[in-house]
Structure 1
């Protein structure tokens, strides 16, 4: 699901990556909100608060919301930069790089909270927004702008449009494609919601606090590991089938010569 790109990418690949990453985003969003009372997967609310402070001439208090916005932006930039920088290397799965950075930051925040007291929560919020910007960027690039997993505003907008299109089969004849995109968006919304429930239960119910981020990191790492193993198996099968076909062709040629 992390390797297929362009025309080789199918609905199944997008569904797999959408469910994993939207679930992770749901966990991170709830954990960040319960820990710091701030949204950590999108910047819409932060932008509104920043504008409010500017309008009230409270420029200094609005600076922190500007930092939140810039952190998300920088995460998106960093992810895209890494992908563009290394995409020429065909042996390297470039989309794994930002995903691994996301895992490291999630693990680092959780471990840090166990060892030290968090005196600068705004720094942690910026880091969470940074990795969500990274995630949203690389999943957008890998899916050719079809999948976004860190916020739901655009998803509900697109879902409403596509549901209305189903009522007009005369003007929207590509019903199969519309149904596939609806299915994809429903999966993202459901797994974001499910991730939020699990994250809230782990944070409050089991009292894991910021250690809940370790769970999100594990989910992402397992999906990366599974994807790599699965790709290796498929690649080995293709090599085996190719060699077997080559041997069969050689046998046929030798028989023809005889």
Structure 2
């Protein structure tokens, strides 16, 4: 019989995922969860605001088009969305760097906890029926998306991004093209990286499934479907934060 000491407590998994000591497996597990949450939140942005809030390429294109048309309301909206995304990424990076120097055990848990709290704020977006209120909701969600992408980028050493589906799909195409050329030319060194391809497919699938769940959830429950997403983010982060206060932690 295995010793009882080897049994992990219920909060061990979240602390493993966001703890200071990293592994490729924990990075991928956390990235998969965050990609699913990002897909669901992105669907929430479209449901609530008619815009995909993680899609900065679309906002840049929209900005250029409407600058040409002199549609200043849309121009300002796009600038606000891009600015909120950048600000969220900058805030997450600054927070991680500060926590790294002050409280190393919670350097990754803090950004996720703040994202969870902001998702709770977004869940009340239904009360904002005015144009300024909708702009606030858009800025809030773009800020969260920027924070999340920066957080997993910092955690994984820039190996993984969870909201940048365009980049992930591009990398899938690169790997497939590289492998196809290697097979056709008989050059064994030009084989696709199966592990990298599996990771990319896993993250894209997680984002897609998250988007499907988010579309159904927001369609059925409205803004309040943000609450389960907030609970997931807080569930990942709070065990590490609370463990530190008790003198434990990862």
Q: List runs of 5+ in structure 2 lacking aligned partners.
A: 1-16
Correspondence 1:103 to 2:121: no
Aligned residue number for residue 219 of structure 1? 232
State whether structure 2 residue 89 is matched by structure 1 residue 76: yes
Deviation at 1:93, TM superposition (A): 1.9
8 A contact 2:40–2:213 mirrored in 1: yes
The answer to whether the Cα contact below 8 Å between 2:113 and 2:238 also exists between their aligned partners in 1 is no
- In structure 2, which of residues 18, 21, 25 is the aligned counterpart of residue 2 of structure 1? 18
The count of residues paired between Structure 1 and Structure 2 equals 224
Structure 2 residue aligned with 1:203: 218
CA RMSD between the two structures: 2.5
Aligned mates of 2:80, 2:242 — CA distance in 1: 39
Tell me what 2:76 maps to: 63
1:20, 1:223 within 8 Å by CA — same for their partners in 2? no
Does the 8 Å contact 1:68/1:129 carry over to 2? yes
Q: Which residue of 1 aligns with 2:195?
A: 180
TM-score calculated relative to the size of structure 2: 0.81
Name the SS of the counterpart of 1:41 in structure 2. coil
Deviation of 1:153 (Å): 0.6
Give the match for residue 170 of structure 1. Answer: 188
Q: Shift of the alpha carbon at 1:18?
A: 1.5
- Taking the aligned partners of 1:195 and 1:80, their CA distance within structure 2 comes to 25
Structure 1-normalised TM-score?
A: 0.78
The separation in 2 between residues aligned to 1:39 and 1:221, in whole angstroms, is: 23
Counterpart of 2:7 in structure 1 is none
Q: How does 1:99-138 map to 2 (within 5 A)?
A: 99-111=112-124, 113=126, 116-119=127-130, 120-138=133-151
Flag structure 1 segments of 5+ consecutive residues without an equivalent: 239-258
Given that residues 20 and 107 in structure 2 are in contact (C-alpha distance below 8 angstroms), is that contact kept between their aligned partners in structure 1?
no
CA distance in 2, matches of 1:2, 1:138: 10
* Residue of structure 2 equivalent to 1:144: 157
1:161 counterpart residue number: 174
